[in-house]
Amino acid sequence: MQGSTIDPSKTVVNYHHAAAATDSHHEEHHDFRILGLIVFLIAEGMIFMGLFIAYLTFRAVTPNWPPEGTPRLELLLPGINTTILIASSFVIHKADAAVKQNNISGLRTWFIATALMGAVFLGGQLYEYWHLEFGLKTNIFASTFYVLTGFHGLHVTFGLLLILAVLWRSLKPNHYNSEKHFGVEAAEIYWHFVDVVWIILFFLLYIL
Amino acid sequence: MTQAELQATANTPTHSPEPGQRKWWEYFTFNTDHKVIGIQYLVTGFFFYLIGGVLASAMRTELATPAPDFVTPELYNGIMTLHGTIMIFMWIIPAGAGFANFLIPLMIGARDMAFPRLNAVAFWIVPPAGILLLTSFFVKPPEAGWTSYPPLSETASKAGEFIWILSVLLFGTASILGAINFLITILKMRIPSMGFNQMPLFCWAMLATSGLILIGTPVLAGALILLAFDIVAGTAFFNPTGGGDPIVYQHMFWFYSHPAVYIMVLPFFGVASEVIPVHSRKPIFGYRAIAYSSLAISFLGLIVWAHHMFTSGTPAWLRMFFMIATMVIAVPTGIKVFSWLATMWGGKIRLNSTMLFAMGFISTFVVGGLTGVMVASVPFDLHVHDTYFVVAHLHYVLFGGSVFGIYAAIYHWFPKMTGRMLNEPWGIVHFVLTYVGFNLTFLPMHELGLLGMPRRVAMYDPQFAHINLICTIGSYLLAVSTIPFLVNAIWSWVAGPKAGDNPWQALTLEWMTTSPPAIENFEILPVLDIGPYDYGMGDRSTEVDVPFSEAKEPVLSAGPSSVLRADPDPSVAVNPSDRQPEE
């Protein structure tokens, strides 16, 4: 710590290390970007956490939950939707495995599959909105339902755009390879995040 | 390599012969240099501070007399809301981010932040957010205070309220993006020889602050999204007539906004920990205690939010928990205060404007901290809730704490940022006016609060008229105190005496490069071989005992307080005793 005597051997080593670092300070900080994304997702997770806890509080302080006159939620379609979304997390992981083996066509196949599954999920979500018998302003349950699922849907849409952007970039030769695939990993991590949020959301809104 | 050779290399200031410098217009562009961004934050923040100050003066003018004769009560509410919002979101937090941007990479020996472009994006969100907020004056400014409690925020001036929400959401995004950068820069970009416990304490403070921003701000965003739905789409999340609950908003709001107090003051705890050892010429007392107490404050800060809601129907057992948890925060805060005092104790204190502001910071912050413990106690809080006692308390923390800290930091790092010294006598005038004006404005408010004067109202009972007049006079003094600073800063920036690399003979790494630092900070990465606060640890003084001719030679017996590390440039040093010609 401070005030300690100088350790010459250690300092010299550090000095050389530092000099070496000078030449390469323009390197890409691959690991930092992933770390940055994870920290960002912690912040994102806190928004959802806030909204979930708000939902649970509304639920706790309202005498009858859901408030009277709320129709039962249909479980079949959202159940299928959930299965598709969870499955897509495994599919996108295949893409990551493919790019790590320099298999770009495999990356594209699995990313297209994930994108399709994401799109089916979003379509199913819209279909459910269309057929629900309550609107945004019906009651406090309906409002939280739409805001939570809508906010999550927004994230799915953004994840989908990320996947499409990675697909677009993978068309350039050697844009991604086994060494350099930040975009692929970022899209994958984001997709897993969206997936995990949905599992909690599904449990809170449909099951609980 | 002998000890002598080692010191000669390690202590050589690491700047290039021809440092690349920024042109003035680059400060108005989308620039990814952390130093440019830091100064952009500070100048933008100060601009909004002036606007917020004008609003504050308008409020005090209104409150000079009991009747609402200067502005209408509705406009008063708008001015009050925008004053609070601007000071918090557009001045104090950006100022903290500004110093963090400028200082963190320099202090840890990095060439820039981890994500320079993200950093620039984060800054460029702030000015539009601020301008957006000000445009609410054209519709009808939000009237619900910076807390925007429903139901008032959902019924009065909805358009202004919606603009307020958008602006705060934008600002929160900028804040989160900045925090990601600070966190990863501090964790990952330190020079190899710097472990966590060799980090300057400002970096520790920013580590704690960034954690709070990342955990707290998103929850505020959640609350504001729901509030926006209530206002725009007609939902009833916070409206009891539609089955909602306004208390939920209060919980979500304070989950961010109590930590926000620490987001606003922790960086300046860090500043005090930097400034006080340098200007007391003594090692910091209790490095680890100060470092870890920052983390303790941030953790405790996250679990005390409901002490703002003692009168909101919070159940008694819950109030008990929050009361005790809140009072516990006084412990890590007290550790810091006593450590600073012990650092000064017996030091060779230089009573320059930096040190005066740092000491002013401690003295006023302690008052704010003590009233904080008072209002944490439930029975006392029930009595003074929503009175001027709270106004006095929060200004002692946010002005007496944060703004005094900001000024101490400006006086301390201005030479590094601009390469020029601020004028010392005018700095002292600025301090005296600020200190007197501040206490004249806010000290009487304690009395007003205890007498029961409610806050956030444009008119009041005539029995409070005399004390309010004192507050108003004090606030004018406070407003005037900004003028010597502004003139001093602008004049010195253009034509002040050159500062040299290390005018304060400080040991942290930012002083080991040129002033202002070259574009990539360090020619070769610096090597740490003594701690950041090892002032006067040998048996020699850095200022008087060693003549410069000798100091240039690496001396075997120089020890950890080697004068080479703190090498004043004899031609321009501020201290007259250092200003001897080199032979």
Cβ–Cβ of A58/B237 closer than 8 Å? yes
Q: Which two tokens stand for residue B116?
A: 């320079």
Residue A3 lies in a domain: no
Lowest-confidence pick of A7-11, B31-35, B254-258, B301-305: A7-11
Cβ-based contacts of B179 with chain A (< 8 Å): 43
- Residue B516, preceding bond cis, omega within 30 degrees? yes
Is pLDDT at B171 greater than 50 in this prediction? yes
Q: Given CB atoms, is A19 within the 8 Å cutoff of chain B?
A: yes
Q: How many residues does chain B have?
A: 583
Mean pLDDT of B295-317: 93
Q: What is the mean pLDDT of chain A?
A: 84
CATH of the domain at A120: 1.20.120.80
Cβ-based contacts of A46 with chain B (< 8 Å): 214-219
Is pLDDT at A12 greater than 70 in this prediction? no
B544: pLDDT confidence band, cut at 50, 70 and 90?
very low
Residue A170 distance to chain B (closest CA, Å): 23
Number of CB pairs, chain A paired with chain B, less than 8 A apart:
166
Residue A125 lies in a domain: yes
Is pLDDT at B2 greater than 90 in this prediction? no
Q: Chain B: residue nearest A45 by CA? A: B218
B580: pLDDT confidence band, cut at 50, 70 and 90?
low
Could you tell me the residue range of the domain that residue A189 belongs to?
Answer: 31-207
pLDDT above 90 as % of chain B: 74
Domains, chain B, in order of start with CATH, read 34-495 (1.20.210.10)
B521: pLDDT confidence band, cut at 50, 70 and 90?
confident
Give residue for tokens 């002490």.
B307
- Quote the number of domains for chain A: 1
C-alpha pair distances (Å), A129 with each of A135, B101, B360: 9, 45, 59
Q: Given CB atoms, is A90 within the 8 Å cutoff of chain B?
A: no
- Spatial CA neighbour of B305 closest among B284, B336, B326, B275: B326
B536: pLDDT confidence band, cut at 50, 70 and 90?
confident
Residue A23 lies in a domain: no
A70: pLDDT confidence band, cut at 50, 70 and 90?
confident
Q: What is the mean pLDDT of chain B?
A: 88
Q: How confident is the model over A148-204, as pLDDT tens digits?
A: 999 999 999 999 999 999 999 998 888 888 888 899 999 999 999 999 999 999 999
Give residue for tokens 């000890």.
B3
Residue A16: per-residue pLDDT: 34
Residue B347 distance to chain A (closest CA, Å): 17
Is pLDDT at B401 greater than 60 in this prediction? yes
B433, B513 contact by CB (below 8 A) = no
Mean pLDDT of B147-161: 91
Q: How many residues does chain A have?
A: 208
Q: Which residues of B439-474 are buried (b: 16+ CB within 10 A; e: fewer)?
A: bbbbbbbbbbbeeebebbebebeeebeebbebbbeb
The number of CA neighbours under 13 Å toward the Cβ of B175 is 33
End-to-end CA distance of chain A: 53
Quick one: B304 exposed, middle or buried, by C-beta within 10 A (0-12, 13-18, 19+)? buried
Cβ–Cβ of B223/A62 closer than 8 Å? no
Cβ–Cβ of B219/A1 closer than 8 Å? no
pLDDT above 70 as % of chain A: 86
Residue B537: per-residue pLDDT: 66
Question: How far is it, in rounded angstroms, from Cα B527 to Cα B545?
Answer: 26
User: Taken in order B273, B276, B278, B281, is the CA torsion positive or negative?
Assistant: negative
Residue A152 lies in a domain: yes
Q: Which residues of A96-113 are buried (b: 16+ CB within 10 A; e: fewer)?
A: bebbeeeebeebbebbeb
Mean pLDDT of B235-248: 90
User: How many other β-carbons are positioned within 10 Å of the β-carbon of residue B483?
Assistant: 12
Is pLDDT at A36 greater than 90 in this prediction? yes
Residue B9: per-residue pLDDT: 40
Cβ-based contacts of A1 with chain B (< 8 Å): 197-198, 287-288, 531
Mean pLDDT of B451-476: 95
Residue to mutate among B520, B525, B537, with most A CBs inside 10 A, is B525
B576: pLDDT confidence band, cut at 50, 70 and 90?
low
Could you tell me which residue, A69 or B542, shows the higher pLDDT? A69
- Spatial CA neighbour of B566 closest among B525, B531, B520, B523: B531
Across the interface, of A25, A49, A136, the residue whose CB is closest to B235 is A136
Residue to mutate among A143, A148, A149, A152, with most B CBs inside 10 A, is A143
Residue A41 distance to chain B (closest CA, Å): 10
Q: How confident is the model over B102-148, as pLDDT tens digits?
A: 999 999 999 899 999 999 999 999 999 999 999 999 999 999 999 99
Mean pLDDT of B428-437: 97
Cβ–Cβ of B237/A54 closer than 8 Å? yes
Residue A113 distance to chain B (closest CA, Å): 31
C-alpha pair distances (Å), B396 with each of B8, B197, B209, B375, B527: 47, 31, 20, 13, 40
User: Taken in order B414, B418, B421, B425, is the CA torsion positive or negative?
Assistant: negative
Across the interface, of A1, A36, A61, the residue whose CB is closest to B184 is A36
> What interface predicted TM-score (ipTM) does this complex get?
0.85
Residue A4 lies in a domain: no
Cβ-based contacts of A31 with chain B (< 8 Å): 188
Q: Given CB atoms, is A139 within the 8 Å cutoff of chain B?
A: yes
Q: Chain B: residue nearest A24 by CA? A: B111
User: How many other β-carbons are positioned within 10 Å of the β-carbon of residue B583?
Assistant: 7
Restricting to A residues 23-52, those with a Cβ less than 8 Å away from any Cβ of B are 25, 29, 31-33, 35-36, 39-40, 42-51
Q: How confident is the model over B324-356, as pLDDT tens digits?
A: 999 999 999 999 999 999 999 988 899 999 999
- Alpha-helical regions (H) of B496-547: none
Residue B303 distance to chain A (closest CA, Å): 14
Question: Would you give the DSSP letter of residue B108?
Answer: T
Backbone phi and psi for residue A171, each to the nearest 5 degrees, phi listed first: -70, -30
B163, B136 contact by CB (below 8 A) = yes
